[in-house]
Amino acid sequence: MMMLTKKMIEIRGLLQTVGQSESLTLPSIVVIGSQSSGKSSVLEAIVGHEFLPKGHNMVTRRPIELTLVHTPDASAEYGEFPALGLSKVTDFGQIQKTLTDLNLAVPVTDCVSDDPIQLRIHSPNVPDLSLIDLPGYIQVVGRDQPPELKEKIAQLCEKYIKPPNVILAISAADVDLANSTALRASRKVDPRGERTIGVITKMDLVDAERGASLLSDRKYALRLGYVGVVCRVPSNASGSKLFSRGNGNITNAIAKNENAYFGSHAEFSSDSQLAVGTSNLKKKLMYVLEQTMAASLKTTSEAIQRELAEATYEYKVQYNERPLSAESYLAESLDGFKHSFRGFSDAFGRPQVRELLKHELDQQVLNLLAQRYWNRPFEDLSPPLPETDPLSSLPKADPEGEHQIWQIKLDSSSAALTKLGVGRLATSVVANAIQAHIDRLVANSRFAAHPFARQAITEASTSILKDLSYDIADELEICIKPYKYRIELEDNEWARGRENVTAVLKEELKVCEAAAKRLEDQAGGRKKVRDVMAFIDRVRNGQVVLEGDGIGGAGGFSAPLLAKGREAVFLRDRTDVLKMRLLAVKSKQCANKKNKYHCPEVFLDAVADKLTTTADLFLDAELLSKFYYNFPRELDARLGRGLSQSEIDRFAREDPKIRRHLDVVRRKDLLETVLKEMESLRQLEAREKRSIRRE
Ligand code: GDP
């Protein structure tokens, strides 16, 4: 019959993984007793090892679901904490420490927790049993303990001693049974004493006659009877030199002790029919558990069928029977993301890089022009055009000397442009653009709801871009090096520069005009701004002397208004310059590249264009193609092959919708497995019955 219990205990374990549900479990033996009744000693005697937390400060705060697995040819005895992923702990001292830590993690203010600790012990010396150890009942609440502790322990025990569980009620022989908290609690839920086994500990502390009378107690008669034990570990048993404390097997020492004690008192002779000794207790537990489990198989299997029907219905109605696993969800999400990434890489190539870079360099050209040509008092703003120009009213002294000045100016501007670190600038502009695209792709993908994956993807792209950028920036700088010394322009390059810079200047003009308009709106109307601008002009022309620094306002204008006025004057001057320069660029003179010193805008634009052409070619080949090759592989490494099962689960469960779907699928699968197991159990049972009948 032993195979049956093992199988039933396995099914019980499976049911535990389905989830906490009262009807969805098989019975277990629940151990209750007041503190110091000897409860831990009994459990340790059954297991054959000291492994339970010891200490004065209420060390059992959580139920311990103890599954004993009889393993006939196991070379070593070991424990497992499945929920912690701890397997094959062969040092029972370590098990004791882990249990202590898990219990102490429950804050004192919470008193106790009903979240059970699961512990499996494999050993050739244990029977197949499923036991639940509960915190011991306390009589008096200690000074440093919360007042509700006593009540909370009682409630926790009450929850577990419900039918069909078997109650193992521990009472000490030296305490009057009428005062046994365990028996009183069991009586409440099992008034006819049908599913309670009484254990009387510390039999050695009372005289044999009294001990024997306790075991045949009539007042608290129990159908399953009482067993008397002497479970105190003899002091030399676990301290043996061969074993570290807590690691030696104590079974033999206890058996020897008990045999000596019970054997020396006639009251406990075999004729007495009294049940004594740990080994008899073990046998009784095995028998009772098997009977009880077998008796509840039918109701449990019905409950499983009901739950399965519910889960199947939900799966069908809510999820259209769409199979789902964390792995398949991740794989699909990753494929989807890679697909959208391919779409992006097809659409973002050299022309797009070129446009980005040109725009960036246009801005640099505008800044240079503003700094070097347009920031002087009006007359001196820009190189005058040669004689024939319609704008020849501009002052022009000493044409030869002037020419030289403008030549130096243009050469230095061009040098400033080529030396501004185009390699680093262009690389970072493109890398940032790629990163921004990736961020957008993530935000629009399934990964949007998964912080963990989002981070992994962002890290994948930033790390590749960072690695590539470092060398690429330097290499690109080398590519554009020749332009730092000499720039030759073809006619068509000049013409293109002229066309482009016209558009850029027009755009800049629009920006200035829009800013001026915005400023008028903010400052409270055109007139107001005009007035303050007129005042500032008068100050600039020396017609008005500003007293102090004008911080507190001047000329009847408030300080903020003056500030706006200054801004407006700046924008007006900039607009005037831009208009004038646009005329100049459009003029016939600027159609010819030999007038380049008078047309710095066109020249610098053409230089920027040359730089762009070199950079876009290089970045397309080096940055884009390498990134497009590496990124999907890095994704696979970080989100595909590289993830452990628990990480994949964690990822999938981040999305609440997916979590519910996965839960239903898992529940259904588990319930189906349990039912299958139950069916094979039924067959096993039938076979065993047949063989017993044959015997
Ligand atoms: P728990 O608080 O109910 O778990 O009780 P313990 O198992 O820790 O035992 C309380 C005390 O009683 C310990 O000092 C044990 O050594 C002692 N004890 C346990 N069983 C026996 C026994 O059968 N005989 C004697 N003399 N002492 C025992």
- Return the amino acid letter for 372: R
* Residue 576 in this model has a pLDDT that exceeds 60: yes
pLDDT band with cut points at 50, 70 and 90 for residue 245: very low
C-alpha 56/C-alpha 36 separation (Å) is: 10
Q: Where are the beta strands (DSSP E) in 105-146?
A: 117-123, 129-133
Pocket test for ligand 1, best of 34, 41, 153, 201 (most atoms within 8 A of CB): 41
Distance 425 CA to ligand 1 centre (A): 78
Length reported for the chain: 695
Give the pLDDT of residue 145: 79
> What digits encode the pLDDT tens for the residues 67-103?
999 998 767 799 999 888 888 899 999 999 999 999 9
Mean pLDDT for 171-197 is 94
Claim: this prediction has a pTM higher than 0.80: no
Residue ID of nearest Cα to ligand 1 atom 9: 38
**Shortest-distance atom of ligand 1 to CA 43:** 7
CA neighbor of 605 nearest in space, from 481, 494, 482, 484: 494
Give the pLDDT of residue 204: 95
Give the pLDDT of residue 354: 95
Give the pLDDT of residue 381: 43
Q: Three-class SS of residue 464? A: helix
Contact between 308 and 250 under an 8 Å Cβ cutoff? The reply is no
> And the tokens for 266?
């006639």
Please, what is the Cα angle at 213 between 210 and 217, to 5 degrees? 140
C-alpha 581/C-alpha 601 separation (Å) is: 8
Give the pLDDT of residue 395: 38
Residue ID of nearest Cα to ligand 1 atom 1: 36
* Residue 230 in this model has a pLDDT that exceeds 90: yes
Cis peptide before 164 (omega within 30 of 0): yes
Ligand 1 lined by 35 (C-beta under 6 Å) = yes
* Residue 633 in this model has a pLDDT that exceeds 50: yes
Mean pLDDT for 503-507 is 94
> And the tokens for 268?
């406990």
* Residue 233 in this model has a pLDDT that exceeds 90: no
Q: Where are the beta strands (DSSP E) in 23-159?
A: 29-33, 64-70, 78-81, 86-89, 117-123, 129-133
Question: Which residues touch 648 (CB under 8 Å, ≥6 apart)?
Answer: 326, 327, 330
Q: Where are the alpha helices (DSSP H) in 419-558?
A: 422-443, 451-479, 491-523, 526-540
C-alpha 459/C-alpha 170 separation (Å) is: 59
pLDDT band with cut points at 50, 70 and 90 for residue 617: very high
Inter-axis angle of helices 600-619 and 451-479, nearest 10: 120
Give the pLDDT of residue 205: 95
Give the pLDDT of residue 257: 92
Give the pLDDT of residue 337: 95
Residue 661 belongs to what H/E stretch?
A: helix 656-694
DSSP string, 307-372: HHHHHHHHHHHHHTT----HHHHHHHHHHHHHHHHHHHHHHSSHHHHHHHHHHHHHHHHHHHHHHH
> What digits encode the pLDDT tens for the residues 266-296?
999 988 889 999 999 999 999 999 999 988 8
Mean pLDDT for 619-624 is 95
Give the pLDDT of residue 603: 92
Inter-axis angle of helices 491-523 and 559-586, nearest 10: 160
ipTM, two decimals: 0.99
Ligand 1 lined by 228 (C-beta under 6 Å) = no
> And the tokens for 654?
């981040």
Distance 191 CA to ligand 1 centre (A): 28
C-alpha 225/C-alpha 198 separation (Å) is: 6
Ligand 1 lined by 201 (C-beta under 6 Å) = yes
Give the pLDDT of residue 526: 87
**Shortest-distance atom of ligand 1 to CA 233:** 16
Question: Could you give the percent of the chain with pLDDT greater than 90?
Answer: 53
CA neighbor of 642 nearest in space, from 246, 334, 236, 229: 334
C-alpha 522/C-alpha 564 separation (Å) is: 9
Ligand 1 lined by 136 (C-beta under 6 Å) = yes
Distance 227 CA to ligand 1 centre (A): 16
Distance 694 CA to ligand 1 centre (A): 46
Ligand 1 lined by 205 (C-beta under 6 Å) = yes
C-alpha 528/C-alpha 661 separation (Å) is: 66
Pocket test for ligand 1, best of 32, 35, 36 (most atoms within 8 A of CB): 36
Distance 53 CA to ligand 1 centre (A): 13
C-alpha 332/C-alpha 446 separation (Å) is: 10
Phi, psi of 387 (to 5 degrees): -40, -45
C-alpha 295/C-alpha 300 separation (Å) is: 10
C-alpha 86/C-alpha 98 separation (Å) is: 10
Give the pLDDT of residue 247: 60
* Residue 378 in this model has a pLDDT that exceeds 50: no
**Shortest-distance atom of ligand 1 to CA 229:** 23
Residue 79 belongs to what H/E stretch?
A: strand 78-81
C-alpha 184/C-alpha 180 separation (Å) is: 6
* Residue 535 in this model has a pLDDT that exceeds 50: yes
Residue 85's Cβ-count burial label (10 Å; 0-12, 13-18, 19+) is exposed
Distance 204 CA to ligand 1 centre (A): 11
Distance 258 CA to ligand 1 centre (A): 14
Phi, psi of 60 (to 5 degrees): -95, 110
* Residue 240 in this model has a pLDDT that exceeds 50: no
User: Which range (75-79, 380-384, 447-451) has the least confidence?
Assistant: 380-384
Residue ID of nearest Cα to ligand 1 atom 10: 36
Ligand 1 lined by 278 (C-beta under 6 Å) = no
C-alpha 159/C-alpha 324 separation (Å) is: 36
Distance 256 CA to ligand 1 centre (A): 17
Mean pLDDT for 152-164 is 93
Distance 231 CA to ligand 1 centre (A): 7
Give residue for tokens 């494999």: 122
* Residue 610 in this model has a pLDDT that exceeds 70: yes
C-alpha 537/C-alpha 526 separation (Å) is: 16
**Shortest-distance atom of ligand 1 to CA 44:** 7
Ligand 1 lined by 33 (C-beta under 6 Å) = yes
Contact between 165 and 195 under an 8 Å Cβ cutoff? The reply is yes
C-alpha 180/C-alpha 84 separation (Å) is: 36
pLDDT band with cut points at 50, 70 and 90 for residue 342: very high
Contact between 415 and 484 under an 8 Å Cβ cutoff? The reply is yes
CA neighbor of 226 nearest in space, from 239, 213, 210, 241: 213
Residue ID of nearest Cα to ligand 1 atom 26: 202
Q: Three-class SS of residue 126? A: coil
Question: Which residues touch 268 (CB under 8 Å, ≥6 apart)?
Answer: 208, 211, 212, 228, 262, 274, 276
Give residue for tokens 């904490």: 81
Question: Which residues touch 600 (CB under 8 Å, ≥6 apart)?
Answer: 369, 372, 373, 382, 383, 406, 409, 410, 413
Please, what is the Cα angle at 95 between 91 and 97, to 5 degrees? 110
Higher pLDDT pick, 508 / 556: 508
Give the pLDDT of residue 557: 81
pLDDT band with cut points at 50, 70 and 90 for residue 547: low
Mean pLDDT for 33-51 is 94
Residue ID of nearest Cα to ligand 1 atom 15: 232
* Residue 391 in this model has a pLDDT that exceeds 80: no
**Shortest-distance atom of ligand 1 to CA 205:** 26
> What digits encode the pLDDT tens for the residues 289-320?
999 998 888 888 888 999 899 999 999 998 88
CA 550 to chain centre: 58
Distance 37 CA to ligand 1 centre (A): 6
**Shortest-distance atom of ligand 1 to CA 52:** 4
- Cα distance between the two ends of the chain: 14
* Residue 379 in this model has a pLDDT that exceeds 50: no
* Residue 468 in this model has a pLDDT that exceeds 50: yes
Q: What is the mean pLDDT of the chain?
A: 87
Residue ID of nearest Cα to ligand 1 atom 28: 232
Mean pLDDT for 433-444 is 96
